[in-house]
Amino acid sequence: MSEKNQGERDQRPLTPPDQTLVPPSPDAVAPPPVWGPPPPAPNDSLWHRVAAFIVLIAVVAAAAGAGIGWSLARAVNTRQVAQSTAQPESPITQVTPSPGGSSNSASTEAVAAKVIPAIVDINTTLGNGQAAGTGMLISSTGEILTNDHVVKGSSSITVTVQGRSQPYSAHVVGVDVSQDVAVIQIDDSVSGLPTVKFANSSSLQVGDSVVAIGNALGQGGTPHATQGHITALNQTITASEGRANSETLSGMVQSDALIYEGDSGGALVNSSGQVIGMITAGQAQGFRTAASDVGYAVAANTAVNVANRIRAHEQSAEITYGQVGYLGVSVSGSASTSGAVVVGVQSGSPAASAGITAGSVITRIGGTAVTSADSLGAAIKSHQAGEQVSVTWTASGGATHTATVTLGAVNP
């Protein structure tokens, strides 16, 4: 995520929407169908701290200004990374979908029971706030597949595994921003974890029965499951982060299984409990609703392909490995100002330590001129976390300053 306007987080509307974009309201949370305890309606203060630009994307941001101070992670990383010396994991294999994909004979409970042990809750720290999402275990030693937007810009990641009493810290292995796919790894030495089974998604058909499973509303506990059907295939959507940043995702699987915020990175499975997609985005239907029965998932074939590339440590301009640098400012652009106007500074950040304050205009990072808010993010992204760089800014009083800062580290 870029050094950008305060409050613009990863609640991403689909464009063009059919409805007016409105923040979700606790007054009209749709009752979850079929199975599982209903997600409790979020309290008013939490939802009013969520960025208001969403139709629905399945992540809960629990604090205003959570986006303050995190460096660009959405832009494609053009730096090549050294080939890892670690032994690559065996590629994820996919199975032929079990027959009867359109059958409703299997109950939602029975389908979900096959998958839930391998579904994890993901909680992240974002500046002064938190966010929540979902992930799927893809190895018995703690590798997890999730959306890039679930973990991007976070300074820490905590994973809760079903049946394990203690949460685990985790780190990003790699992300492909263009496909909204990330692989993260539990830090502790773990073994024997259950894993999801992926089906080949090339044979999916409209009408096939599906179940959506995820961390609805970021509440944790037993994952929530809802039943529906595939309503369209090979869809292209535009998902945006706030007003300025958007990305186009293609080849998406559309379904009418009800999804909630917090379900991003969760599993869309067939009637045999085989994963055919990764829940990524939803479109709210109607005024003031916290749920969506128009959902989109990254097709399993795409998600598995990207995950295998990351696990093999493939060098690619599309894949970012490890953490990226951050300065610690929230900025905006101005037609009358050449540079990035600082509207907020993260407490304890490199920017705060350097003496940068709100109202300052950043004009240079290292040897790169900063001409806008977007170019600031790109300039920071060109440097690694922990690297020392010079920053030049003009204070609100007109004085020009230059200081050397050590960039912090956040997940891409």
- Decide if 351 contacts 69 (C-beta within 8 A): yes
Q: Give, rounded to a whole angstrom, the gap between the first and last alpha carbons of the chain.
A: 8
Q: Which amino acid is at 188?
A: D
Residue 367 inside a domain? The answer is yes
Exposed/middle/buried for residue 233 (C-beta within 10 Å: 0-12, 13-18, 19+): middle
Q: What's the pLDDT at 9?
A: 36
Residue 2 inside a domain? The answer is no
Is 139 among the catalytic positions? no
Report the distance separating Cα 204 and Cα 136, nearest Å: 20
Report the distance separating Cα 325 and Cα 382, nearest Å: 9
- As for how many domains the chain has, the answer is 2
Q: Which helix (H) or strand (E) holds 150?
A: helix 148-151
Q: Which of 10, 121, 180, 208 is catalytic?
A: 180
Q: Which domain holds residue 180?
A: 14-80+90-311
Are both 102 and 243 inside the same structural domain? yes
Q: What's the pLDDT at 284?
A: 54
Are both 272 and 329 inside the same structural domain? no
Residue 288 inside a domain? The answer is yes
Residue 127 inside a domain? The answer is yes
Domain's final residue, options 311, 340, 361: 311
Residue 8 inside a domain? The answer is no
pTM reported for the whole predicted model: 0.75
Are both 64 and 147 inside the same structural domain? yes
Residue 7 inside a domain? The answer is no
Q: What's the pLDDT at 245?
A: 59
Domain's final residue, options 311, 332, 350: 311
Are both 199 and 348 inside the same structural domain? no
Are both 305 and 328 inside the same structural domain? no
Residue 316 inside a domain? The answer is no
Q: What's the pLDDT at 384?
A: 84
- Decide if 405 contacts 354 (C-beta within 8 A): yes
Are both 64 and 161 inside the same structural domain? yes
Q: Is residue 111 classed as helix, strand or coil in its secondary structure?
A: helix
Q: Which of 71, 209, 255, 264 is catalytic?
A: 264
Report the distance separating Cα 333 and Cα 343, nearest Å: 10
Report the distance separating Cα 228 and Cα 293, nearest Å: 9
Is 180 among the catalytic positions? yes
| Residue entry with tokens 């067939």 | 270
Are both 235 and 258 inside the same structural domain? yes
With CA atoms as reference, report the closest residue to 174 among 316, 341, 271.
316
Are both 248 and 364 inside the same structural domain? no
**CATH assignment of the domain containing 306:** 2.40.10.120
- For residue 350, CA distances in Å to 72, 285, 372, 375 come to 15, 42, 20, 18
Q: What is the mean pLDDT of each run of 10 residues along the chain (412 residues)?
A: 37 36 28 42 32 34 31 28 48 80 69 97 88 96 96 93 95 95 97 97 96 94 96 88 67 96 95 96 62 94 98 91 86 78 89 93 93 86 88 93 92 80
Are both 110 and 196 inside the same structural domain? yes
Are both 203 and 285 inside the same structural domain? yes
**CATH assignment of the domain containing 347:** 2.30.42.10
Three-state secondary structure of 270-297: CCCCCEEEEEEEEECCCCCCCEECEEEE
Are both 202 and 328 inside the same structural domain? no
- Decide if 364 contacts 390 (C-beta within 8 A): yes
Residue 9 inside a domain? The answer is no
Are both 187 and 287 inside the same structural domain? yes
Domain's final residue, options 260, 291, 311: 311
Q: Which of 71, 121, 149, 330 is catalytic?
A: 149
